[in-house]
Amino acid sequence: GPDNIVKKRKDYFFPAIANFYEDPPQLVSGSMQYLEDHTGKRYLDFFAGVSVMNCGHSNAEIMKDTIEQLTKLQHTTTIYLTEPIVHLAEKLSEILPGNITRTFFCVTGSEANEGALALARMHTNKSGIIALQGGLHGRTHLTLSVTGIPMWRLDDELVKENIFFIDRPYAENETSEISMERSLQQLSTILQKHGSDIGALIIEPIQGNGGIVMYPSTFLKEVKQLLKQYGVLLIVDEVQTGYGRTGKMFAIEHYDIVPDIIVTAKALGNGFPISTFSTTDEIAKSFNKPSASTFGGNALASQTALSVLKYIHDQSLVERAAQLGAYLKEKLLKLESPFIQEIRGIGLMLGMQIQSNTGVELTSANVTDYILEKMKERGFLIGKNGLNRDVIAFQPPLVITKENIDELIIHLEDVFTELIR
């Protein structure tokens, strides 16, 4: 029965695969911003399966199109033509920034980043890559190697010599100016030394797993300018930030630049696996390996993605994320606790940096876990991330309401008060 699955998971999964919570909820159903476990307990979902379920769980309007497509035609591969994948490519070219008009479809974020890096290499004939400390780009060999989170980073002889890291500059703490200067200086030094061997810089516009870190507003403009001088392409990884999450369709819009390649995944399928890397006419021509992903953008996934984009548009979810995100951020900023160091982020991608406190035996990661556990008991699933796993992440489906936020805040207040006792 379902009661055994916690034990079975221990027996049959790889030991390193970690859950949130000692006793993770065994979820059996979902409806928009709500989830339900095997005991019938209901949760308000404030993590959305890591920024995936932007349109809500089992969204009836989207699923109706998916089910219709499922009964008609599931999959053919891109060797043949189906309507959904072509319409999706056209739709994406309308909503992607600037002159980015061409899309390659894959299945996961890792795979799309891998493809984007391959494309940059083909276009520039240079194999070196620059990435940011604190970034996360996936689970394949190369994407693990450009991941800048020590607990996951693969530091492998095969590719290591070709990969360079710069520090991430913070936007929200007081030293942001200084750290931006430092990051740009590091970038400039690497480019001067190795620019003739480097094809790409890959960056999340807002770091997700690294702890919801946004850069100073002019940082990416300066980065782009430097890269241009050395013929290095800018790849923006919007796997976590894309499709309304941050109050813009794509988070790169907050920085007012157009990258060379943009990667998306997660929320595009609202739970259905689909990912993309997209670029300009000119760069797309360089992709000279005529390969296609077997499952990438199959009819079912593409039809679902089309319905997702229509739903985001019809329900104004981008504006909703901006408004509700501002409301939630204001409420989080008003919470008072010696354990809260900083509130970061934008739209419905908000992070609360937890700190340890004198007289308490707990590390900041322990405090974070305590808050997650207590909030779970109260019926709220919130997330965590950060280099030390001590940032609480609020990344709910964009369909949540103001009332949902008010409820969350009341319970958060209580949990922080209990912590002091």
Stretch that binds ligand PMP, among 126-134, 136-144, 164-172, 309-317 (CB under 6 A): 136-144
Instruction: Count the Cβ atoms, other than its own, within 10 Å of residue 380.
Output: 22
Which residue in 27, 50, 95, 159 binds ligand PMP (CB under 6 A)?
50
Our CB check for ligand PMP shows the closer of 162 and 240 to be 240
Answer yes or no whether residue 114 interacts with ligand PMP by CB under 6 A: no
Q: Which amino acid is at 159?
A: V
- Minimum Å distance from CB 113 to ligand PMP? 6
Of 33 and 385, CB closest to ligand PMP: 385
Asked if residue 324 lies in contact with residue 399, where contact means CB atoms within 8 angstroms, the answer is: no
Nearest distance in Å: CB 204, ligand PMP: 5
Stretch that binds ligand PMP, among 74-82, 137-145, 221-229, 347-355 (CB under 6 A): 137-145
Closest distance of CB 110 from ligand PMP, Å = 3
CB nearer to ligand PMP: pick between 267 and 400: 267
The residue among 142 and 191 lying less far from ligand PMP, judged by its C-beta, is: 142
The yes or no reply on residue 137 touching ligand PMP (CB under 6 A) is yes
Q: Which of 248, 243, 349 shows the shortest CA–CA distance to 304?
A: 243
* Nearer to ligand PMP among residue 203 and residue 300 (C-beta): 203
Tokens representing 153 are: 């980073």
Q: Which stretch binds ligand PMP (CB under 6 A): 13-21, 132-140, 243-251, 372-380?
A: 132-140
Burial class (CB in 10 A: 0-12, 13-18, 19+), 287: middle
The sheet with strand 27-31 has its strands ordered as 27-31, 34-37, 42-45, 380-381
Q: Which stretch binds ligand PMP (CB under 6 A): 22-30, 187-195, 236-244, 336-344?
A: 236-244
What is the rounded distance in angstroms from the CA atom of residue 332 to the CA atom of residue 312? 26
DSSP state of 225: H
The answer to the question of residue 108 lying near ligand PMP (CB under 6 A) is yes
Letters for 59-98 (x = contact with ligand PMP by CB under 6 A, - = none) are ----------------------------------------
- 248-307 positions binding ligand PMP, by CB under 6 A: 265
- Give the H/E segment covering residue 383: strand 383-385
Q: Which residues pair with 275 in a beta bridge?
A: 106
Going by C-alpha positions, the residue among 363, 332, 362, 365 that lies closest to residue 346 is: 332
What distance in Å separates the CA atoms of residue 65 and residue 60, rounded to the nearest whole number? Answer: 9
273 vs 360: CA distance, rounded Å: 43
Closer by beta carbon to ligand PMP, 138 or else 325: 138
Q: How would you class 80 by CB atoms within 10 Å of its CB: exposed for 0-12, middle for 13-18, buried for 19 or more? A: exposed
Part of the chain binding ligand PMP (CB under 6 A), chosen from 133-141, 167-175, 222-230, 329-337: 133-141
Binding status of residue 48 toward ligand PMP by CB under 6 A: no
HEC secondary structure over 13-33: CCCCCCCCCCCCCCEEEEEEC
Binding of residue 110 to ligand PMP (CB under 6 A): yes
Residue count, binding to ligand PMP (CB under 6 A): 16
Nearest CA to 165 out of 194, 196, 206 is that of 194
Q: How many CA atoms lie within 13 A of 7 on its CB side?
A: 4
| Minimum gap (Å) between residue 227 Cβ and ligand PMP | 20
Structure token digits, residue 377 = 């008991």
Would you tell me how many other CB atoms lie within 10 Å of the CB of residue 28?
12
> Can residue 30 be called a binding residue for ligand PMP (CB under 6 A)?
no
List the beta bridge partners of residue 207.
213
E-strand stretches of 96-247: 102-106, 128-132, 163-166, 198-203, 206-207, 213-214, 233-237
Contact string 177-216 vs ligand PMP (x = CB under 6 A)? ---------------------------x---xx-------
Q: Which stretch binds ligand PMP (CB under 6 A): 29-37, 65-73, 84-92, 134-142?
A: 134-142
* Closer residue to ligand PMP in complex, CB, 208/347: 208
First to last CA, the chain: 39
Choose one: 102-110, 153-161, 379-387, 404-412; the region binding ligand PMP (CB under 6 A).
102-110
Answer yes or no whether residue 115 interacts with ligand PMP by CB under 6 A.
no
Q: Name the residues that contact ligand PMP, by CB under 6 A.
A: 50, 108-110, 113, 136-139, 204, 208-209, 237, 239-240, 265
